[in-house]
Structure 1
């Protein structure tokens, strides 16, 4: 497979759109030689103000190996870190005009110290990162501005192969541009881009800088967030991928409510049904997720799902592969109820499953405060506060004194209940902040600047 390129930008509208017939809802204002000509212009006039350009600045931490001969000068570690500045461009989509919420890709704003949003009308506004999810490559920003335009969300589960698509974004930093195409495939996975994959594939031209931009239908409704392409050197060859709008919306709602993604898990392992599995298990379907094992005390076991079942639908929507099943479940929050349809023998059964919280669900600590980078954080399940599950060696979080098992219980003598409150208190830090930490039976304060 050709090199898979993660993007940081938008898309071009090149050439004349030739359609054999116009959709019933299209506006046909022009006539050439007595023949009306279709145009996407009326739709784009409404949709494009909701798509923004994003520029970021920050620093990357580069690990450099120290030769043994110089260990005396640099101390015992054989590596030292060096910070290097970076700048990047991307795109974003306004999903709530009143609150100023903008969704983009995590890789666009990851490690950014400064995020500036440029609206279609030319206004430039500094944005705040509310939260992100690296596993699905989604991030949520917020700006304080009036007269914003939000985009309407479509139900991405209703997409069909062959539906027309339009990509809007900021390719190569050129400014807002538009390209068109169709839905080439649905439920794409196994691309090794992120952990949760359920991509829309499109041939609408997507290039470097399109990441975080909008993929819309002919009504101007958002069907996906442009994320990646397959192409040599990052150029477009007609194979682009977008995160479905339903998946994005589920994750954004969790970040808004909790300040983090509280990923739910079903508790099954398995593989996609293929011809060999169908023949061996005497199945009448060649699609779905074959359940090889059900974890003890999992949501699936409690609902009655068993090994040997073939999961074919989630909330009434068909799933073709096990990876697609994982992607759909992974965007639904812990504690939510979902309907799972399975084939068991000759029968079709439906189960209502209450998803449990993933043990690996955590927040990207660096998005809260740069000095917390390297800490694996989650809400304390045994009471108030934020639990430090793990610490990366030589990370900023370790350098300030945090240890695995610590509970961050307050900031500057103010108690905190969860990650959302921790993020809120550290949103606009000034000077020195004191973290109130409980370690075993002791209490201590750790200072961050």
Structure 2
């Protein structure tokens, strides 16, 4: 994420009676504690709320983005966010439904805490009367002895209740089973809520609905220890209309860190959203108003070929995560690759991302004849076929037509001193990386 978000331009939709009604319309409420009381709470005086992010990877991903934007919407409604990055829970790992996590080293987790804190900071305002605050649960768990943990916190948890939690139950019925370490995770998360209630008067925790057992471990702990009622809100797990898991691309998560998923790849992910999903995605992942989204919905239904919804979605979310400048570069790269822009103005990272899925070849930098390039890149099967392509006006190098079959491409035309983009006709593309130029 190379660009700061323009937080000042963000606002909730004033057409809703309150923030709870907007969250419901956007499809962000899957499960919660007492809905009537929670709506009253959020419609009243500012309250402190939190969401936790565990450093089990060096970056947050699209599932976390749902929570970050929910936190921002609540902050825009006047409430006070606490961004918790779990320096201690990250050492343990939330139980996955299928297998035990591999524990990362303390140094690795500590390093990742810093990465995630920086990402969280980009989505919240740390100024003003309801400024966000960052917290790390290692601060209150590290000084606690095992005996004190068992006496002061563990005694309030009932094993039968813990066994019924979804993640625990699924693991118990698997061949892998579950370790005592991961089994104890819900106690740690419950303790976090108790600590934040005591330190900041925190009244609400948000998270994905698959975290519901962990969320309610905190509400129950506070009820038992403090005799107070606090709240939890679980957002739905985002899935595609065909039932597949959202945010996965060939088995890889869509990360928010530009070094792990380039802005170009990120933009293309959203641009490829199915028509059946695009309106729901606009509701969850953008600050567009109900009226604006309703208008786009008409276009999606009546003119799906125009892909207005996908283009708006891709722009808005990429700008949120990577900034407007990076997003404009991505759009320019897409146009340039297909012949509608200047390739030479693209930085090397953007060019590499934009051409990453194209066929590619490596050649030596001496005597770069157009015929040899077309054959080496796979755009032509033979030299005679390549000559026909050139003769028919269908050969392009860096979007410039080449009409002489004996043309030799000079080193001055190499993009960033080593790349060429070849095109046969309108849509057949390939890249060549030149060595020794």
Q: TM-score, normalised by structure 1?
A: 0.24
Q: Which entry has the higher C-alpha Rg, 1 or 2?
A: 2
Flag the structure with higher strand content. Answer: 1
Flag the structure with higher helix content. Answer: 2
Specify which structure has the bigger relative contact order, considering alpha-carbon pairs within 8 angstroms and separated by 6 or more residues: 2
Q: TM-score, normalised by structure 2?
A: 0.24
